[in-house]
Amino acid sequence: MRSGRWMLVAWLIIGALAAGQRHYYAHFDGSCAKIATIGITWASGPLNYIGLNPTANCKVPEPST
């Protein structure tokens, strides 16, 4: 079970590094799409380095007038 935890931690660290290399943190504007893209990049971990380029689009409902 310990090796599984370490693998998960390593996976997430690699994903965080990939997000940093793509400058997602520097251009962070707090939007739903940017938060989701960073989360997906973290979750995909090493897959980012074999060509996976995850992005997300969010449409937040606006109140009607």
pLDDT for 59 equals 78
pLDDT digits (tens, 9 = 90+) for 3-48: 889 999 999 999 999 999 989 899 888 888 888 888 998 999 888 8
Torsion angle of alpha carbons 29, 30, 33, 37, nearest 10°? 90
Domain boundaries, the chain: 2-50
pLDDT for 52 equals 82
Residue ranges of alpha helices (H) inside the chain are: 2-21, 32-44
